[in-house]
């Protein structure tokens, strides 16, 4: 018989490990209650596709995910993937910040072996819970040769997405994870992954980031744009020591005059400013809605604000030169 791939499941909590009072409880349940061994035992089919081991790394709802959790997780993933006896990793995760953790790992994992993030939109106790099939698909994907060298992947709702581009698009439906416009990578169907696209941006072994010796990440915060915007939030975050600010601007990253004044002042104090957009799709054009050359700002390209925040934190561990950081935003 062919030897099965060895896949470690790192469990972090979320709704995939959640439970509710009744089978029709799809909101108002409790996330992060079920341990990894029970998650694995609930899907005996896993044993057919991989030699599976479980490890409980955290037990949290993903709204509580932090920089510290990311550093711990990335270090654990790198340690495991350096081992001969680990062929791939699945990370069970809450869906609220799953896209952020996926992108953080996409930039910091130093291996071509598959890393697949998975979650669920319904707790395990619900009718038509999506966790078990999502977990099965994720393990199947992590055990496959097809997933090698494709960066960190997200497996949800029978689909395969790239960490950089996937986003949560719906508060509660099982088809919430999408890659609008840039496109998902493929499907999982009939016990097989099918790929149609490859991630074009550099990831994993091809990035310049190394978190192996880091104990903390620089403080980077997000400021939201809206009509009648109040600059108080921006000024407070800068006052609280932010090293970088992501401006989630309206439209193509446009800046209201009241906020622009604060951003210019912050930049003069050495704070890195990235113009992103709250729109969720499209390129934020450099020197478009603002003269980035003159202001010494960075444009986020297509990264949404929460992912721009991750790239800026990692960029600041290497340099504070805006030209270098802009290059990174066009590379990753
Ligand atoms: N569907 C979910 O997993 C939502 C939950 N709040 C979490 O992110 O942990």
Tens of pLDDT, residues 107-119: 999 999 999 999 9
Residue 1 lies in a domain: no
Token pair 């721009």: residue: 308
- Shortest CA distance to 57 belongs to which of 31, 84, 76, 82? 76
Q: How far is CA 327 from the centre of its chain?
A: 21
Phi (first) and psi of residue 39, to 5 degrees: -60, -40
- Cα-based angle 148, 152, 154 (whole degrees, multiple of 5): 110
- Alpha-carbon distance 299 to 322, whole Å? 10
Give pLDDT, residue 2: 76
Residue nearest to atom 1 of ligand 1 (CA): 121
Q: Is residue 33 part of a domain?
A: yes
Q: How far is CA 309 from the centre of its chain?
A: 11
Any ligand 1 atom below 6 A from CB of 253: no
Q: What share of the chain is helix, strand, coil (3-state, %, to 5)?
A: 30, 20, 45
- How many other CB atoms are there within 10 angstroms of residue 146's CB atom? 14
Quote the pTM value. 0.98
Asked if 234 and 196 sit in the same domain, the reply is no
Q: Is residue 195 located within the same domain as residue 286? A: no
Residues 195, 50 share a domain: yes
pLDDT per residue as tens digits for the range 181-193: 999 999 999 999 9
Task: Report the C-alpha gap between 202 and 330 in whole angstroms.
Answer: 10
Q: How far apart are CA 82 and CA 86, in angstroms?
A: 8
**Beta-ladder partners of 9:** 54, 90
Identify whether 249 is part of a domain.
yes
Is any atom of ligand 1 closer than 6 Å to the C-beta of 15? Answer: yes
| Same domain, yes or no: 110 and 40 | yes
Q: Both 53 and 175 in a single domain?
A: yes
According to the model, what pLDDT value does residue 232 have? Answer: 98
The number of domains in the chain is: 2
Give residue 326's Cα distance to chain centre: 20
Q: How far apart are CA 86 and CA 53, in angstroms?
A: 10
Residues 274 and 319 in one domain: yes
Question: Where is the domain boundary, 182, 206, 230?
Answer: 206
The answer to the question of residue 212 being in a domain is no
| Neighbouring C-beta atoms of residue 297, cutoff 10 Å | 27
Chain Cα centroid distance, residue 14: 14
CATH number at residue 140: 3.40.50.1170
In contact, 95 and 120? CB cutoff 8 Å = yes
Q: What is the rounded CA–CA span in Å between residue 275 and residue 264? A: 12
Q: Whose CA is nearest to atom 7 of ligand 1?
A: 94
CA–CA separation, 37 vs 35, rounded Å? 6
254 annotated among ligand-binding-site residues? no
Q: Enumerate residue ranges in the chain where pLDDT < 70.
A: 1
Q: Is the CB of 126 under 6 A from ligand 1?
A: no
For the stretch 111-170, pLDDT in tens is 999 999 999 999 999 999 999 999 999 999 999 999 999 999 999 999 999 999 999 999
Host domain of residue 200: 6-206
Ligand 1 centroid to residue 289 C-alpha, Å: 35
Q: Does ligand 1 have an atom closer than 6 angstroms to the CB of 118?
A: no
Identify whether 85 is part of a domain.
yes
- Claim to verify: residue 224 and residue 202 sit in the same structural domain: no
* Tokens found for residue 210: 């190394």
Atom of ligand 1 nearest to the CA of 13: 9
| CATH assignment at residue 313 | 3.40.50.40
Q: What's the pLDDT at 1?
A: 58
- Is residue 23 in some structural domain? yes
């Amino acid at each position: 018989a062919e030897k099965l791939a060895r896949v470690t499941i790192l469990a972090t909590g979320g709704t995939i490990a959640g439970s509710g009072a009744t089978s029709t409880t799809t909101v108002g349940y409790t996330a992060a209650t079920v341990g990894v061994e029970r998650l694995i035992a609930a899907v005996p089919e896993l044993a057919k596709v991989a030699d599976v081991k479980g490890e409980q790394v955290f037990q949290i709802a993903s709204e509580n995910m932090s920089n510290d959790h990311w550093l711990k997780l990335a270090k654990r993933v790198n340690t495991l993937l350096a081992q001969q006896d680990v062929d791939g990793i699945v990370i069970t995760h809450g869906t609220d910040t799953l896209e952020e953790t996926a992108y953080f790992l996409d930039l910091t994992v130093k291996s071509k072996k598959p890393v697949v993030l998975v979650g669920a939109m319904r707790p395990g106790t619900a009718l038509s819970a999506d966790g078990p099939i999502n977990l099965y698909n994720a393990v199947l994907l992590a055990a496959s040769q097809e997933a090698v060298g494709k960066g960190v992947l997200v497996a949800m709702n029978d689909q395969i997405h790239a960490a950089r581009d996937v986003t949560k698009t719906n508060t509660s439906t099982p088809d919430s994870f999408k890659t609008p416009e840039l496109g998902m990578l493929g499907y999982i169907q009939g016990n097989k992954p099918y790929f149609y696209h490859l991630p074009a941006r550099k990831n994993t072994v091809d990035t310049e980031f190394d978190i192996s010796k880091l104990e903390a990440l620089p403080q980077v915060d997000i400021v939201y744009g809206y009509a009648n915007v109040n600059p108080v939030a921006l000024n407070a975050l800068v006052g609280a020591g932010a090293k970088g600010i992501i401006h989630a601007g309206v439209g193509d990253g446009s800046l209201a005059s009241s906020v622009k004044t604060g951003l210019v002042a912050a930049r003069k104090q050495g704070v890195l400013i990235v113009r992103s957009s709250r729109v969720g799709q499209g390129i934020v054009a450099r020197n478009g809605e603002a003269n980035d050359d003159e202001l010494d700002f960075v444009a986020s390209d297509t990264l949404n604000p929460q992912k721009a925040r991750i790239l800026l934190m990692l960029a600041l561990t290497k340099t504070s030169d805006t030209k270098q950081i802009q290059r990174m935003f066009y590379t990753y």
